[in-house]
């Protein structure tokens, strides 16, 4: 064993394998459900949901990419598809000509509202139905701590 990279002990390895299973299977299950029932990818749903929560349902593309944990390039491709479908619109920022804004349209909001019940039902089934109230709070706190360490 190297001092530079100490091996995980048995308990850590068991926990790590569980985390790997979660981060691999949960997004795939959410993506499958959304594609099947709403014709949206999980990433597209995240874009629409993030815009819905933004002031005036509008956000800078760079901020949206960060919030959705995607590159600006990936978001641009997805935004083009969403714009072609009439779910969002993109336009130059009036106060900063170098920035592009994305806005959720009424049809986009309607699509999000239609997709949300099935998505929420699956999130409850796969995650929250398995946890009691205290575990939900602990799970959230642990996830936030780990995300904060990863943020770049």
Quick check: is 32 in a domain?
no
Quick check: is 28 in a domain?
no
Rounded to whole angstroms, the Cα distance separating 121 from 86 reads 26
pLDDT band per the 50, 70, 90 thresholds, residue 2 = low
pTM: 0.86
Quick check: is 131 in a domain?
yes
| Farthest CA pair distance, the chain | 58
Amino acid 102: pLDDT: 98
- Domain tally, the chain: 1
What the block records as the tokens of 74 is: 């990936």
Quick check: is 62 in a domain?
yes
pLDDT band per the 50, 70, 90 thresholds, residue 97 = confident
CA quadruple 80, 81, 82, 88: dihedral positive or negative? positive
pLDDT band per the 50, 70, 90 thresholds, residue 150 = confident
Please report, for residues 41, 63, 87, 108, 122, the alpha-carbon distance to residue 83 in angstroms, rounded to integers and kept in the order given.
Answer: 15, 18, 6, 9, 27
Domain that holds residue 137: 38-150
Tens digit of each residue's pLDDT (9 = 90 or more) over 31-76 = 999 999 999 999 999 999 999 999 999 999 999 999 998 899 999 9
Question: Which one has a higher pLDDT value, 132 or 2?
Answer: 132
The CATH number of the domain holding residue 109 is 1.10.10.10
Quick check: is 93 in a domain?
yes
Quick check: is 11 in a domain?
no
């Amino acid at each position: 064993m190297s001092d530079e990279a100490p091996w995980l002990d048995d308990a850590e390895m068991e926990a790590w394998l569980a985390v790997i299973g979660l981060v691999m299977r949960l997004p795939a299950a959410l993506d499958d459900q959304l594609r099947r029932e709403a014709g949206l990818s999980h990433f597209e749903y995240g874009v629409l949901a993030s815009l819905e929560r933004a002031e005036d349902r509008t956000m800078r593309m760079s901020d949206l990419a960060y919030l959705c944990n995607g590159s600006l390039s990936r978001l641009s491709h997805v935004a083009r598809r969403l714009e072609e479908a009439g779910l969002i619109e993109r336009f130059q920022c009036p106060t900063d000509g170098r920035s592009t804004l994305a806005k959720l349209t009424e049809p986009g909001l309607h699509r999000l509202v239609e997709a949300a019940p099935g998505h929420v039902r699956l999130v409850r089934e796969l995650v929250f139905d398995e946890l009691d109230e205290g575990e939900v709070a602990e799970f959230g706190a642990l996830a936030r701590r780990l995300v904060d360490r990863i943020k770049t």
